[in-house]
C-alpha cells in the first residue's frame, strides 16, 4: 500500500478522551481538540461536568462533533454510561484515550507517607480507571472491526520515584498486557510518555525555580519543556491508520529526557 497523508485522518471515527475537561490548558483538552481536527467525533469525558461541556462546545463551535459527559472512571457504572453515550450519539467507539489521572494531588507526597487510602485512591484512578474504560469499549471496538487504545503514562515512570510514577509504570504493564490480549481483535494498545509538559498542572508543579527544572536543564538532550499541543501529533499516529502496525509500545515525547545519563 502506498503511503498517503490521509492515513492520519480520522473521519468517521469516534473517540473518547478521559480527563479532557479539567484544568484550562490541559493535555486532555489538546487531545480532544486534535482528534476533532483530524475528523473524529469526540466524547469529552471528565469528572468535572462543566469542563467537559466547555471543551465539547469548543469543538462544536469549530465545526466538529463532540459531547461532554461527566464520568467517574473509578465507577464502572459511570464508565458504562459514558460508553453508552458514545454509542447513542455517534454509533460506537473506535478510539479510547485513557488520559484521566491524579498527578498534582499525589506527586509531592513521599511514598512512605501515603496512607493505605491514599495509595488505593491513586491506583483506582491512574490504573484501575484505565482498565474499567478499556473493558467497557472493547466489545464496541470488536464489533466495528478493531480500534485503538492509548494510555497516558509519564516520563516520571522512568524510573518511578513517586507514587504517581509507580502508578504510571503499572499502566505501562497494563498497556503491554492488553496489547497482547487484544491484538487478535485488531485492537492496538499503546502509550504516550510525556516529559515536562507546560500544561496548567505541569507549570504549577515545575516552576522555573524548582530543583527539578535545574536538574532537567543539565541532563536533557534537547528542549526540556513542551506544550500540550506537541503531544497531539504522536497521538494521531497511534490513533490513525498510519499506526496500524504499532502495538504494545511506549512513545516517549520528552526532548530526550528518557536518554539522560
Positions marked active-site: 164
Nearest to 161 by CA among 215, 125, 100: 215
List CB contacts of 96: < 8 A, sequence separation 6 or more: 15, 16, 18, 133, 134, 137, 141, 147, 148, 149, 150
Q: How many CB atoms lie within 10 A of CB 241?
A: 15
Nearest to 40 by CA among 236, 229, 231: 236
State residue 253 phi and psi, 5-degree precision: -120, 90
Nearest to 26 by CA among 44, 9, 10: 44
Nearest to 234 by CA among 184, 197, 182, 261: 197
Alpha-carbon dihedral angle through residues 28, 31, 36, 42, given to the nearest 10 degrees? -40
CA angle 22, 23, 28 (to 5 degrees): 60
Q: How far is CA 224 from the centre of its chain?
A: 21
CA-to-CA distance for 32 and 235, rounded, in angstroms?
10
CA-to-CA distance for 98 and 191, rounded, in angstroms?
9
CA-to-CA distance for 257 and 94, rounded, in angstroms?
31
C-alpha cell at 166: 509507580
Amino acid at each position: 500500500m502506498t503511503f498517503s497523508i490521509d492515513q492520519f485522518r480520522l473521519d468517521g471515527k469516534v473517540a473518547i478522551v478521559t480527563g479532557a475537561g479539567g484544568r484550562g490548558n490541559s493535555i486532555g483538552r489538546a487531545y480532544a481538540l486534535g482528534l476533532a481536527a483530524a475528523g473524529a467525533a469526540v466524547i469529552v469525558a471528565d469528572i468535572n461536568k462543566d469542563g467537559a461541556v466547555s471543551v465539547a462546545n469548543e469543538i462544536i463551535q469549530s465545526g466538529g462533533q463532540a459531547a461532554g459527559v461527566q464520568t467517574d472512571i473509578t465507577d464502572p457504572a459511570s464508565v458504562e454510561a459514558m460508553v453508552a453515550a458514545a454509542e447513542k450519539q455517534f454509533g460506537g467507539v473506535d478510539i479510547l484515550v485513557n488520559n484521566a489521572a491524579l498527578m498534582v494531588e499525589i506527586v509531592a507526597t513521599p511514598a512512605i507517607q501515603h496512607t493505605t487510602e491514599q495509595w488505593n485512591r491513586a491506583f483506582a484512578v491512574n490504573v484501575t480507571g484505565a482498565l474499567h474504560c478499556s473493558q467497557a469499549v472493547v466489545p464496541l471496538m470488536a464489533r466495528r472491526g478493531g480500534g485503538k487504545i492509548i494510555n497516558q503514562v509519564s516520563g516520571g515512570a522512568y524510573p518511578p520515584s513517586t507514587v504517581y510514577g509507580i502508578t504510571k509504570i503499572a499502566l505501562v504493564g497494563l498497556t503491554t498486557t492488553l496489547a497482547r490480549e487484544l491484538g487478535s481483535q485488531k485492537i492496538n494498545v499503546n502509550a504516550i510518555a510525556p516529559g515536562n509538559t507546560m500544561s496548567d498542572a505541569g507549570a504549577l508543579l515545575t516552576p522555573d525555580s524548582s530543583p527539578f527544572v535545574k536538574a532537567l536543564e543539565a541532563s536533557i538532550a534537547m528542549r526540556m519543556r513542551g506544550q500540550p499541543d506537541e503531544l497531539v501529533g504522536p497521538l494521531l499516529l497511534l490513533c490513525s491508520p498510519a499506526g496500524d502496525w504499532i502495538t504494545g509500545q511506549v512513545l516517549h515525547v520528552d526532548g530526550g529526557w528518557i536518554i539522560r545519563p
